[in-house]
């Protein structure tokens, strides 16, 4: 079995970017990991925010969450007046996708990364 341990996230302000994500997703505060601010996603995967990038090329990160967490995060987006969309083309503003495939919403981080929240209609099965 192979498990993703971490991914380095380009950012201009490592601590601010990491703290913003933990606040939006309702995660524990970032921790120091060498020169990085590490955001633990649960399980064995972390995002390491770099903070030395002068220019950031936007990337896409998708987070599978429970339906209850999904609703809490969307409520945070609304409370913070953060733009969000139901689709990856960003053509359905202020809308959440709720259909047979599960729930979905897209929003941008302060560094411009396109973040996706999704739920599954039933719990995903992890392959062993």
Span 56-75, average pLDDT: 96
User: Can you tell me whether residue 68 is helix, strand or coil?
Assistant: helix
pLDDT at residue 103 in the model: 96
Per DSSP, the residues of 15-77 read: HHHHHHHHHHHTPPPPEEETTEEEEE-STT-EEEE----SS----EEEEE--HHHHHHHHHHH
Strand partners, 103: 98
Confidence of residue 127 (pLDDT cuts 50, 70, 90): very low
Q: What is the mean pLDDT of residues 31-55?
A: 95
Contact 106, 114 (CB under 8 A): yes
In tens, the pLDDT along 85-95 reads: 999 999 999 99
pLDDT at 20 over 50: yes
Report helix, strand or coil for 71: helix
Backbone angles phi, psi at 117, to 5 degrees: -110, 140
Are 39 and 21 in contact by the 8 Å Cβ rule? The answer is yes
- What residue ranges do the domains of the chain occupy? 6-118
- What pLDDT sits at residue 53? 86
Q: Would you tell me which CATH number, out of the four given (3.30.565.10, 3.30.930.10, 3.10.180.10, 3.40.50.300), belongs to the domain 6-118?
A: 3.10.180.10
- Long-range pairs, 66-69, Cβ under 8 A, ≥24: 66/119, 67/103, 67/119, 69/25, 69/26
């Amino acid at each position: 079995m192979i498990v993703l341990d971490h991914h380095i996230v380009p950012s201009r302000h490592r601590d601010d970017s990491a703290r913003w994500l933990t606040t939006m997703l309702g995660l524990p505060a970032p921790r120091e990991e060498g020169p990085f601010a590490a955001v633990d996603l649960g399980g064995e995967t972390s995002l390491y925010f770099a903070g030395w990038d002068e220019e950031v090329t936007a990337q896409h990160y998708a987070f599978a969450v429970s339906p209850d967490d999904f609703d809490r995060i969307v409520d945070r987006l609304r409370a913070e007046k953060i733009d969000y969309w139901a689709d990856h083309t960003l053509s359905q503003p202020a809308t959440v996708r709720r259909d047979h495939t599960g729930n979905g919403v897209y929003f941008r981080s302060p560094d411009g990364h396109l973040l996706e929240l999704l739920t599954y209609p039933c719990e995903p099965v992890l392959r062993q």
